[in-house]
Amino acid sequence: MRTRVFLLVLIAVAAVVFFAARLVSNDYVFFAGYTVLQFVVLATAWNILGGYTGYVNFGSAAFFALGAYATVFLHKLYPLPIPLLIVTGGIVSGIVGFGMGYLTLRLRGAFFAIATLALAIVLQTLVVNWDYVGGSRGAYIIRPNEIAFIGPYIQYLFLLMLALAVIALTIARGIERSQLGYGFATIRDDELAAEASGVPTLRLKLVATTMSGALMGMAGAPFPYYIGYLQPSSAFALDYAVNSIAMPMIGGTTSWVGPLIGAILLGSLQQIATVTISSAVNLLIVGLLLVAFVVIAPNGIVGLVQGWTRGRTK
Amino acid sequence: MGEQVGLSFDLLVNALIAGILLGGFYTAVTIGVSISFGILDIVNIAHPAFIILGSYIAYIVNARLGLDPIATSVVMLPAFYVLGAGIYQVYYESFERRGQEALRGLSFFFGLLFVTEVMLILVFGVDYRYVEAPYIGPSWRIGVVDLPLRMLVPCIAALAMFAALELYLSYTFIGRAISAVAQDQLALRLMGASPIRIKRIAFGISIATAAVAGALLIIIQPVEPSVGREYIGRVFAICVLGGLGSLPGTVIGAMLLGIIESFTATFYGPSWAPAVAFGVLLLTLAFRPAGLLGR
């Protein structure tokens, strides 16, 4: 399937999802759906770097929070429409992703992973000490109730996140089938051999970190409008880091389908578990599933299904 | 004027001493990672979670039986060793043997970190816990220098643990084999030692140090389950700063970071301290990735 056709199909699916959600006519569907879609974007963004090139980013929360705080910062200067805020959030997180990659990617992969882990803590320290964006007290963003043409504001946010998910999935699938994707795969399989055969590994890795960081920032940009009151602890929550790793790992990291399946399954499961049990228990479930899947099913659900169909055709 | 200069000199000396004491404690926190990451090449980012586990065990025993936290941690050493050896076995079977340690191995340890933290939250809640011991509270005063025993005792205990490990690695057969495993696994096999067994022992030792580090942590400060996260950046910053695989380098790196953090806290305010370690880590990676005493 050509990328353009794929994009049209995704848009059609997204339209069906949106109008189906409107038929239910219950705002909770949009609130829960927004969170699940946000995880689709985060998991897909993580997978562009983690799944395709094999470099682990533990700092998803940092990139996400950068996007969210870029919104808070601009909102205080001058209220801009959200699509513009999404673009700025993407630019800020993309630049930070590029900088982190430039400093650490020339070394062994582990250093990059460790640096991203520490990045979240440092950015949180900066935000806590920065009074302009609310400091440790947090910042209020007043959300209008309605918006023209669409109606309730939460439906507008939902629609934006749906569009972001479509964009993220199209980019991920586009990469897989392009030269860029083959370049990424050579890095994942044997970086030394790739380097020796003339693959510009550092440049490719920088492209991956920048794209992945930018998409995470874009996912974070509408978040202050969604939550209404942004605290450092909610923007930098470990949930984002864990989920954006667990979802691709459980779904399968080799193609765009994996993060999508993982995000929809785990995201919905957590929405249900948060309501019925408690949020600590549901994080424990995510952690245990992550450990279980990397040990038992290294290629995730996609790998299990592939193994199963291959077994049947034999 | 003279009065003011004297005052800031006092402040300087005390910040320096506080930094050295803190650095001693950081040695205990880092030395396990120095073995696992530096020597064995296993990126155990879950190490701080095991340290917090050690803290909670010291807390339970102290609250129920009134036993000294450091004594408790020494008793717990074998249990943590077995835990470490078990984790290595899973890690080896699932990732190292298949050559998948980069992506999945890291995620595995990240999952362990997370599961340990959430389990502690579920059992103990997010309240801060602390221990009681005769050396928490009083402090010695030598001239203008203030020596709080709460910091001095962990520093001495940590340096004792470092000395014991350094002697073990330098003078015993298994200790030397552990150092050799990083350099040449084939040669090690020819000497009649199984690299897997040696690595299992070494990883067990590295987790065992977390029991002691955890007890020292809860002596220094009250502990809640997510405190461990602050130590991830510190531990790896120290490891890289000192030079991977070098235990004396770890002590120097720990002391340096302790001093820098103590000065930052004294002159800029403690809320900036968590950012210091990361700054040190990034600068080291950018300018001298081999560290101070790296191979």
- Is residue B292 in some structural domain? no
Q: Closest-CA residue in chain B for A299? A: B104
Whether chain A has a CB inside 8 Å of the CB on B115: the answer is: yes
A233 CB neighbours in chain B (<8 A) are: none
Q: Closest-CA residue in chain B for A190? A: B99
Q: Cβ–Cβ contacts within 10 Å for residue B115, how many?
A: 21
- Is residue B106 in some structural domain? yes
Three-state secondary structure string covering A22-52: HHHCCHHHHHHHHHHHHHHHHHHHHHHHHHH
A114 CB neighbours in chain B (<8 A) are: 43, 45, 232-233, 236, 281
- Is residue B273 in some structural domain? yes
| Residue A219, min C-alpha distance to chain B (Å) | 22
Q: Which residues of A touch B (CB under 8 A)?
A: 50, 54, 56, 58, 103-104, 107, 109-111, 113-115, 117-119, 121-122, 124-126, 128-129, 188, 238, 242, 245-246, 249, 253, 280-281, 283-284, 286-288, 290-291, 294-295, 298
Q: What pLDDT score does A246 carry?
A: 92
Q: What pLDDT score does B3 carry?
A: 45
Whether chain A has a CB inside 8 Å of the CB on B45: the answer is: yes
- Is residue B139 in some structural domain? yes
Tokens of A152: 């309730």
Q: Cβ–Cβ contacts within 10 Å for residue A206, how many?
A: 18
Q: Give me the torsion for CA of B103, B105, B108, B112, rounded to 10°.
A: -130
Percent of chain A, pLDDT > 90?
32
Positive/negative CA dihedral, A133, A137, A138, A142: negative
Pick B115's closest partner by Cβ from A115, A128, A288.
A288
- Is residue B264 in some structural domain? yes
Contact B46, B112 (CB under 8 A): yes
Q: Do A117 and B232 touch (CB under 8 A)?
A: yes
- Is residue B295 in some structural domain? no
A232 CB neighbours in chain B (<8 A) are: none
| Residue A128, min C-alpha distance to chain B (Å) | 8
Domain that holds residue B82: 2-287
- What ipTM was predicted for this assembly? 0.83
Whether chain A has a CB inside 8 Å of the CB on B133: the answer is: no
Q: Do A295 and B90 touch (CB under 8 A)?
A: yes
The structural domain count of chain B equals 1
Exposed / middle / buried, residue A131 (Cβ in 10 Å: 0-12, 13-18, 19+): exposed
Residues of chain A with pLDDT under 50: none
- Is residue B90 in some structural domain? yes
Pick A103's closest partner by Cβ from B118, B275, B282.
B282
| Residue B166, min C-alpha distance to chain A (Å) | 25
How far apart, in whole angstroms, are the C-alpha atoms of residue A93 and residue A67?
6
Pick B102's closest partner by Cβ from A54, A111, A126.
A54
Pick B233's closest partner by Cβ from A110, A118, A298.
A118
Q: What pLDDT score does A313 carry?
A: 63
User: What is the mean pLDDT of each successive set of 10 residues along chain B, which is 295 residues long?
Assistant: 58 90 94 91 91 95 92 94 95 82 84 91 89 84 84 94 94 88 78 85 95 94 88 87 86 93 85 78 78 67
Q: What pLDDT score does B294 carry?
A: 63
Instruction: Indicate whether this model's pTM tops 0.90.
Output: no
- Going from the C-alpha of B212 to that of each of A25, A277, B44, B74, B238, the distances in angstroms are 57, 36, 17, 7, 18
Pick A118's closest partner by Cβ from B110, B112, B232.
B232
Pick A115's closest partner by Cβ from B106, B121, B285.
B285
Contact A14, A139 (CB under 8 A): no
Q: Closest-CA residue in chain A for B121? A: A280
Whether chain A has a CB inside 8 Å of the CB on B274: the answer is: yes
Pick A290's closest partner by Cβ from B111, B121, B278.
B111
Q: Do A56 and B278 touch (CB under 8 A)?
A: no
Give the start-end residues of each E strand in A95-237: 139-140, 146-147, 151-152, 229-230
Q: Cβ–Cβ contacts within 10 Å for residue A280, how many?
A: 14
